[in-house]
Amino acid sequence: MINDFRQRNLNITNPRSWFKNRRNLLIAGAVVMAVVILGFLFINYRQGKVSGVEQGPTVKINQTYTVTARTKERKATDGNLELTVTNAQIGSSILVQGKVARPIKGKAFLIINMEIENPYKVALYAFPVDLFRFVRSDGQKFAPSVHQGTVEIRPQATKKSNIAFVVAPSDKKFTIEVGEIGKDKETLEITFR
Interval 24-49: pLDDT, tens: 667 777 777 777 777 766 665 544 44
* Angstrom distance (rounded) from CA 114 to CA 4: 67
* Residue 16: pLDDT over 50: yes
pLDDT in tens, 43-93: 655 444 444 455 788 999 999 999 999 999 999 999 999 999 999 999 998
* Angstrom distance (rounded) from CA 141 to CA 98: 28
* Angstrom distance (rounded) from CA 114 to CA 80: 16
* Angstrom distance (rounded) from CA 166 to CA 172: 13
Q: Look at residue 122 in the predicted model and tell me its pLDDT.
A: 94
The phi and psi torsions of 183 (rounded to 5 degrees) equal -120, 170
128's enclosing H/E stretch is helix 128-131
